[in-house]
Structure formats: C-alpha cells, structure tokens
Amino acid sequence: EVQLLESGGGLVQPGGSLRLSCAASGLKYDIYAINWVRQAPGKGLEWVSGISSFGDTPYYADSVKGRFTISRDKSKNTLYLQMNSLRVEDTALYYCAKGDCSSVGCPGDHWGQGTLVTVSS
Amino acid sequence: DIQMTQSPSTLSASVGDRVTITCRASQTISTWLAWYQQKAGKAPKMLIYQASNLESGVPSRFSGSGSGTEFILTISSLQPDDFATYYCQHYNTYSWTFGQGTKVEVK
C-alpha cells in the first residue's frame, strides 16, 4: 500500500524557516514525480512545487519562487520542502502528492494527510 | 498562466439527484484535466484523470467529459458519501492548476 507521511510543520514567525519532509513507502519511489500542494484554512488547493523522478528539474509556483526549495533523497525515500522567508500568507496545510508518472505533468494519485504550517508573530 | 474556473461554487442536491459540475480553462488544455473529491479534514482523492478516465476503485456513478476548454464532472445518482468539495485540476510538465472548488451540500 502506498503511503506518504508529511512532517516538519509547526508555528514559525514571519521571516522564519521550516523544512517539511514527505516519507514515502509502498512504492518504487524513484520513478514518480512528487509535488507539494497547500490549502489555507477554509480555502482551496494551491500547487506549490513539484519535482520529477530524476530530481533534476524542480518547478515552483510564482508565490513561492525564490523562497522555497524542493529536493528529494532517493536513498531515504523522502521528499523535502525547505521554506525560507515565510510570510503570514504561507499559513496552510501542506500535502505531498505522488504523480502517477515520472514528470510533474501527471495528476496526483496518492496524497499524504498533510502537515500544518502556521506563520504568525 | 492558465486559469481554471469552476461553476457553481456551491450546489445543493438530494440523494439520487444527477449532479453536474463544470470546469472551464482560460485556454485550451486538450484533455490534461483531473477531478478530485475532498471531504472535510481529509486529503483530496483523485476520481478522474485525462478528462474522462475513471481512477481505479472509484464508483461508476462518477464520469468526466470534455476537451479543450470545457469539462464536466457528472455524478449520475448522488449518494450520501458524495457530499464533499470537488476540484478540477489542469496538469502540465511545469505545474498544476486547480479550480476554486465546488461544494456539494445537502438540499
């Protein structure tokens, strides 16, 4: 059974940093793209970032470009999202979602349960 | 950037009703479209991919259609488990773009 488990969320002050992790199990991790999607309280889904199975090409939403960095450690079956210069508007539940192919150009067929990031002073 | 617009934002329906949700793209996207269901406090679940392909395990009362800029999700006979929020999503090599969501509530 495919499982994605996010961790690393928490309360941070504006301007601070957090690193989210997404640990994958039950799949051949290194052949699928993985994405981060966030959902602000009471709001819709917003794609944040994605990375191909090869890990060589990251993609970002304009709202986080230059502040967030996505990476993957295939030896640990884990995806990361390094979030710097956090803003109040980054407050959200962050999901990792596995694409059903090797590139970002596939929909998410498995999702984790999310980790909550709260940016507040 | 491509924008995805869903209508309606909220839909009131009864068990047994036929329900349709529309998603429009700001420019043509062929059939690079998926539909998701999200229940309160839960992660999204993919229902349909490539506009009309039913994801494994999803009940056959769900169907998707359309291409280009207009897409429709249909629930043929609404069941109690189907009250939720539904999102369309365009996916391409560089990004994902979601519609704003349609909440299906009890009439």
pLDDT value, residue A101: 85
Q: Locate the chain B residue with the closest alpha carbon to A44.
A: B100
What are A4's strand-pairing partners?
A24
Lookup: tokens for A99: 């694409």
Which member of B38, B91, B95 has the closest CB to residue A107?
B91
Distance from CA of B43 to the nearest CA of A (A): 6
Which member of B46, B96, B101 has the closest CB to residue A44?
B101
Convert the pLDDT of each residue in B4-45 to its tens digit.
999 999 999 999 999 999 999 999 999 999 999 999 999 999
Q: Locate the chain B residue with the closest alpha carbon to A98.
A: B46
DSSP per-residue letters across A48-111: EEEE-TTS--EEE-TTTTTTEEEEEEGGGTEEEEEE-S--GGG-EEEEEEEESSSSSSS-EEEE
Convert the pLDDT of each residue in B49-89 to its tens digit.
999 999 999 999 999 999 999 999 999 999 999 999 999 99
CB of A46 within 8 A of CB of A32?
no
Whether A47 sits inside 8 A of B55 (CB atoms) is no
Residues 6+ apart with CB under 8 A from A12: A18, A86, A117, A118, A119
Distance from CA of B46 to the nearest CA of A (A): 6
Q: Closest Cα to residue B66, out of B53, B83, B77?
A: B53
